[in-house]
């Protein structure tokens, strides 16, 4: 298995999954090309080189997990897995339980090829894109891995939080309330101390995936999960100006301090957010003061900007969420046959579960479990429960079930005051002013009523085994394969 971003790119190139773009402008053009590419399915990742105003070799990578095949390559899963099959592959890999493998401290690493401190610090030395037309500036942290140490318990957290460049030595880091990094930062601030951070803005796609996923429990480091996935500890070195481990094979690392409130402030935002809107206003927040920049020769900046496209795979972030949620449901109730979160609705906003109903109230129980489970609770607005003859990853089948098995009066429940996000575009201004960052959610039972399920009209949908038999006989003539 690959060990860093460069060897990941080598593996992707060998599979024909890399496209190099030369001569693009960091100012909007890289973002526009990244967005344009997801208008077609199963596209290769993008490597931008010879970027306007920067020397050749100083590159930006985007769409690095934006297909099932790239996600499978990143996580060591079967390369032909898709849809629910990809979720099954994930669950098979993790079914015995993840046994953390802590990182190992090494004497040196490629990240030390260039070390800048003091007057040599310059955040503009990298071709950081302005990703969207209305962004407030250049965001160096989109594919970022923010490393923090809990000041009380000593464990290391790695999270993904956006970072905007302010000037050569100053940035702004936006951390959503409720995230692990938010709690760690506030522990320092409550003591009147700056929060030390190290940020890999170019590095291992697997570490980024772990940092962006919700299944790593509080108190366990994402470094340890990467070690488990690879079967060997991740090499780290001590930071130069902060007491934190940094990935020895990272591309670019920013070290610094998140200054406590009450002194300096910077204007962060706006930024095109993952729901597909500019929902959060410009916010005054304490700055991120850079104390050191480390980078490899010919460094690669990792870009994971929120984009909207017809075939946006959403970096595969829903696969770990779905796998974790499915495991959680299996611990609490029988009969779950499939779980899915549609990329089209952005992350967990719409979660679908198929169930073989076994008792009265079974479907409602599953809907309530999904509504409150950690992998699906955050900004989840629609929980849809369908029968086991529905593929939850097939939007056509799900909408058919909603249209023909859901009675609006009897089958929909509304929960209020649920966990949301400042980036939720549906929170009205008056609630924002009160810092009421909550939403409602609908539990939609799009399944046959349990008490007269056997009397429900029979579907014209053909049995899967008959369709497969027909596909085997006529598939080549119909589809050319």
The answer to whether residues 293 and 322 belong to one domain is: no
> What does the mean pLDDT of the chain come to?
93
Residue of 198, 200, 199, 292 lying closest to 250 (CA atoms): 200
480 occurs within a structural domain? no
Distance CA 229, CA 41 (A): 27
DSSP state at residue 53: T
Q: Range of 356's domain?
A: 317-473
Looking from the CA of 76 toward its CB, the CA atoms found within 13 Å total 14
The answer to whether residues 327 and 288 belong to one domain is: no
Domains contained in the chain, number: 2
Detail the DSSP E strand segments found in 152-265: 156-159, 162-167, 170-174, 195-202, 235-238, 245-247, 252-258
The answer to whether residues 328 and 191 belong to one domain is: no
197 occurs within a structural domain? yes
Provide mean pLDDT across the span 205-226: 88
Residue of 89, 72, 78, 80 lying closest to 206 (CA atoms): 72
Is the per-residue pLDDT at 112 higher than 90?
yes
End-of-domain residue from the set 269, 302, 335: 302
Instruction: Give the model confidence (pLDDT) of 275-297 as tens digits.
Output: 778 877 899 999 999 999 999 99
Detail the DSSP E strand segments found in 281-362: 283-285, 288-295, 300-302, 336-341, 350-355
312 occurs within a structural domain? no
The answer to whether residues 142 and 180 belong to one domain is: yes
Instruction: Give the model confidence (pLDDT) of 241-274 as tens digits.
Output: 999 999 999 999 999 999 999 889 999 999 988 7
Instruction: Give the model confidence (pLDDT) of 398-441 as tens digits.
Output: 999 999 999 999 999 999 999 888 888 888 999 988 989 999 99
Of how many residues is the chain composed?
481
pTM of the model as a whole: 0.86
The answer to whether residues 347 and 218 belong to one domain is: no
Provide mean pLDDT across the span 115-121: 98
Pairing of strands 235-238, 245-247: antiparallel
Pairing of strands 382-387, 438-446: parallel
Is the per-residue pLDDT at 481 higher than 60?
no
Distance CA 396, CA 354 (A): 14
End-of-domain residue from the set 267, 302, 337: 302
CATH number at residue 37: 2.30.110.10
The answer to whether residues 393 and 261 belong to one domain is: no
Provide mean pLDDT across the span 290-312: 91
Dihedrals phi, psi of 206, to nearest 5 degrees: -70, -40
In the prediction, which pLDDT does 479 show?
79
| Alpha carbon 330 to its chain's center | 23
Among the listed ranges 3-12, 140-149, 376-385, which one has the minimum average pLDDT value?
A: 376-385
423 occurs within a structural domain? yes
CATH number at residue 452: 3.40.1670.10
Q: Record the tokens describing residue 225, joined without a space.
A: 């999960």
pLDDT band at 74 (very low <50, low <70, confident <90, very high): very high
Asked whether the bond before 270 is cis by omega within 30 degrees of 0, the reply is yes
Instruction: Give the model confidence (pLDDT) of 137-182 as tens digits.
Output: 999 999 999 999 999 999 999 999 999 999 999 999 999 887 899 9
């Amino acid at each position: 298995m690959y060990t860093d971003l460069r060897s990941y790119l080598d593996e992707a190139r060998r599979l024909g999954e890399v496209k190099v773009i030369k001569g693009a402008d960091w100012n909007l053009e890289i973002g526009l090309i990244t967005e344009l590419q997801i208008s077609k399915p199963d596209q290769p990742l993008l490597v931008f080189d010879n970027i306007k105003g920067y020397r050749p070799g100083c590159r930006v990578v985007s769409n690095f997990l934006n297909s099932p095949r790239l996600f499978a390559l990143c996580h060591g899963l079967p390369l032909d897995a898709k849809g629910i099959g990809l979720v099954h592959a994930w669950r098979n890999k993790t079914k015995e339980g993840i046994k953390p493998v802590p990182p190992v401290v090494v004497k040196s690493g490629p990240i030390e090829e260039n070390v800048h401190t003091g007057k040599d610090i310059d955040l503009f030395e990298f071709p950081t894109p302005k990703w969207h037309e209305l962004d407030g500036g250049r965001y160096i942290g989109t594919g970022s891995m923010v490393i923090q140490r809990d000041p009380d318990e000593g464990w290391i957290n790695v999270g993904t939080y956006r970072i905007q460049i302010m000037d050569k030595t100053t940035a702004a880091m936006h951390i959503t309330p409720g995230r692990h990094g938010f709690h760690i930062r506030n522990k320092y601030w409550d003591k009147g101390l700056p929060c030390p951070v190290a940020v890999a803005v170019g590095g291992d796609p697997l570490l980024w995936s772990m940092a962006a996923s919700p299944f790593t429990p509080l108190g366990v480091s994402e470094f340890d999960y990467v070690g488990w996935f690879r079967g060997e500890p991740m090499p780290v070195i001590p930071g130069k100006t902060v007491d934190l481990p940094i990935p020895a094979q990272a591309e670019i690392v920013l070290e610094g301090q998140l200054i406590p409130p009450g002194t300096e402030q910077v204007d962060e935002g706006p930024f095109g957010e993952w729901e597909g809107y500019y929902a959060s206003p410009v916010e005054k927040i304490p700055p991120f003061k850079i104390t050191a920049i480390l980078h490899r020769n010919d460094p690669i900046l990792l870009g994971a900007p929120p984009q909207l496209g017809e075939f946006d795979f959403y970096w595969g972030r829903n696969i770990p969420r779905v796998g974790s949620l499915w495991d959680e449901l299996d611990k609490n109730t029988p009969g779950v046959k499939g779980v899915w979160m549609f990329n089209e609705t952005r992350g967990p906003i719409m979660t679908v579960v198929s169930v073989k109903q076994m008792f009265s109230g079974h479907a409602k129980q599953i809907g309530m479990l999904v509504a409150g489970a950690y992998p699906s609770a955050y900004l989840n607005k629609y929980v849809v429960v369908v029968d086991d003859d529905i593929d939850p990853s097939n939007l056509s089948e799900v909408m058919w079930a909603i249209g023909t098995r859901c009675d609006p009066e009897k089958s929909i429940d509304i929960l209020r005051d649920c966990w949301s996000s400042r980036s939720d575009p549906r929170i009205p201004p008056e609630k924002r002013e009160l810092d009421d960052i909550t939403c409602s959610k609908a539990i939609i039972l799009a399944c046959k009523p349990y008490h007269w399920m056997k009397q429900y009209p029979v579907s014209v949908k053909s049995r899967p085994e008959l369709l497969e038999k027909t596909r085997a006989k006529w598939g080549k003539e119909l589809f050319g394969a």
